[in-house]
Structure 1
Amino acid sequence: MQEHLEFYIDGGWTAAATAQKLDVIDPSTEEPFARIALGGQDDVDRAVAAAKAAFPAFAATSKEQRLDLLSKVLDGYKARIDEMAEAISREMGAPLGFSKQAQAPAGIGHLMQAIKALKAFEADEIRGTSLVTREPVGVVGFITPWNWPVNQMMCKIAPALAAGCTMVLKPSEIAPTSALLLAQILHDAGVPKGVFNLVNGDGPTVGQALATHPDIDMISFTGSTRAGIEVAKAAADTVKRVHQELGGKSALILLDDADFPKAVKGGARGVFFNSGQSCNALTRMLVPLDRMDEVAQIAKETAEKTTVGDPFGENSMVGPVVSKTQFDKIQGLIETGIKEGADLVAGGTGRPEGLNRGYYVRPTVFSKVTRDMTIAREEIFGPVLSIMGYRDEADAIDIANDSRYGLSGGVTSASLDRARAVARQLRTGTVHLNGALPDFGAAFGGYKQSGNGREWGRYGFDEFLEIKSVFGWEPPPAK
Structure 2
Amino acid sequence: MKDLTINTATAYDLPRTFVGRHLIDGAWVAGAEIFERLSPSHGVVVSRSALGSAAETEAAIAAARRSFDAGVWSRISGKARATVLLKVADLIEANVERIAVQETLESGKPISQSRGEVGGAADLWRYAAALARTSHGDSHNTLGDDMLGVVVKEPIGVVSIITPWNFPFWILSQKLPFALAAGCTVVVKPSEMTPSSTVMLGELLVEAGLPAGVCNIVLGYGEPVGSLMSRHKDVDMVTFTGSTAVGKRITQAASDTLKKVALELGGKNPQVIMPDADLENAADAVTFGVYFNVGQCCNSSSRIIVHEDIADAFVARVVELSRQVRFGDPLDESTQVGAIVTADHNAKIDAYVKAAIEAGAKAELGGGPMSVEGLGTQFYQPTVMTNVTPDMAIAREEVFGPVLTVLTFRTLKEAIALTNDSEYGLSAGIWSTDIHTCLEFSRRAQAGTVWTNTWMDGYPELAFGGVKQSGQGREIGKYGYDEFLEVKSLVMRVGRDSRAPWVKTSA
Specify every segment of 5 or more residues in structure 2 that has no aligned partner in the other structure, as ranges: 1-15, 500-507
Matching of residue 64 in structure 1 with residue 84 in structure 2: no
Q: Secondary structure at the match of 2:407?
A: strand
- Determine the C-alpha separation between the residues in 1 that align with 2:495 and 2:241: 45
Q: Residues 134-145 of structure 1 correspond to what in structure 2 (within 5 A)?
A: 134-145=153-164
Question: Which residue identity does 2:227 align to in structure 1?
Answer: Q
Specify every segment of 5 or more residues in structure 1 that has no aligned partner in the other structure, as ranges: none
Contact 2:264 2:470 in 1 (8 A): yes
- Determine the C-alpha separation between the residues in 1 that align with 2:409 and 2:196: 44
Give the deviation of 1:407 after TM superposition: 0.3
Q: Secondary structure at the match of 1:290?
A: coil
Contact 1:309 1:355 in 2 (8 A): no
Using a 3 Å threshold, how does the CA distance of structure 1 residues 414 and 292 change in structure 2: closer, same or farther?
same
Query: Counterpart of 1:283?
Result: 302
Query: Counterpart of 1:36?
Result: 49
Q: Residues 64-143 of structure 1 correspond to what in structure 2 (within 5 A)?
A: 64-100=79-115, 102-123=116-137, 125-126=139-140, 128=143, 129-143=148-162
- Determine the C-alpha separation between the residues in 2 that align with 1:249 and 1:476: 61
Q: Secondary structure at the match of 1:248?
A: coil
Using a 3 Å threshold, how does the CA distance of structure 1 residues 73 and 160 change in structure 2: closer, same or farther?
same
Q: Secondary structure at the match of 2:309?
A: helix
Query: Counterpart of 2:489?
Result: 469
Q: Secondary structure at the match of 2:326?
A: coil
Q: Which deviations, in whole Å up to 9, do the C-alpha atoms of 1:201-225 show, x marking residues without a partner?
A: 1112111010011100000000000
Q: Secondary structure at the match of 1:36?
A: strand
Of 296, 305, 308, the residue aligned with 2:324 is: 305
Question: Which residue identity does 2:107 align to in structure 1?
Answer: M
Give the deviation of 1:354 after TM superposition: 4.4
- Determine the C-alpha separation between the residues in 2 that align with 1:162 and 1:475: 36
Q: Secondary structure at the match of 1:61?
A: coil
Using a 3 Å threshold, how does the CA distance of structure 1 residues 354 and 345 change in structure 2: closer, same or farther?
farther
Give the deviation of 1:148 after TM superposition: 0.8
Mean CA deviation greater in 406-415 or 353-362: 353-362
Contact 2:159 2:239 in 1 (8 A): yes
Task: Give the TM-score taking structure 2 as reference length.
Answer: 0.91
Question: Which residue identity does 1:425 align to in structure 2?
Answer: R
Structure 1 residue runs of 4+, over 6 Å off? Answer: 476-479
- Determine the C-alpha separation between the residues in 2 that align with 1:444 and 1:114: 14
Mean CA deviation greater in 125-134 or 460-469: 125-134
Using a 3 Å threshold, how does the CA distance of structure 1 residues 170 and 359 change in structure 2: closer, same or farther?
same
Matching of residue 440 in structure 1 with residue 460 in structure 2: yes
Matching of residue 267 in structure 1 with residue 286 in structure 2: yes
Task: Give the TM-score taking structure 1 as reference length.
Answer: 0.96
Query: Counterpart of 1:359?
Result: 378
- Determine the C-alpha separation between the residues in 1 that align with 2:352 and 2:493: 60
Q: Which deviations, in whole Å up to 9, do the C-alpha atoms of 1:265-301 show, x marking residues without a partner?
A: 2212221111001101111100012322112211111
- Determine the C-alpha separation between the residues in 2 that align with 1:248 and 1:193: 37
Q: Secondary structure at the match of 1:471?
A: strand
Question: Which residue identity does 2:235 align to in structure 1?
Answer: I
Percent identity for Structure 1 against Structure 2: 37
- Determine the C-alpha separation between the residues in 2 that align with 1:203 and 1:474: 52
- Determine the C-alpha separation between the residues in 2 that align with 1:125 and 1:167: 30
- Determine the C-alpha separation between the residues in 1 that align with 2:452 and 2:311: 21
Give the deviation of 1:356 after TM superposition: 6.0
Q: Which deviations, in whole Å up to 9, do the C-alpha atoms of 1:144-194 show, x marking residues without a partner?
A: 001111111011110011000000000001001101100001110000010
- Determine the C-alpha separation between the residues in 2 that align with 1:5 and 1:114: 27
Query: Counterpart of 2:168?
Result: 149
Using a 3 Å threshold, how does the CA distance of structure 1 residues 453 and 475 change in structure 2: closer, same or farther?
farther
Q: Secondary structure at the match of 1:422?
A: helix
Contact 1:401 1:427 in 2 (8 A): yes
Contact 1:40 1:201 in 2 (8 A): yes
Question: Which residue identity does 1:467 align to in structure 2?
Answer: V
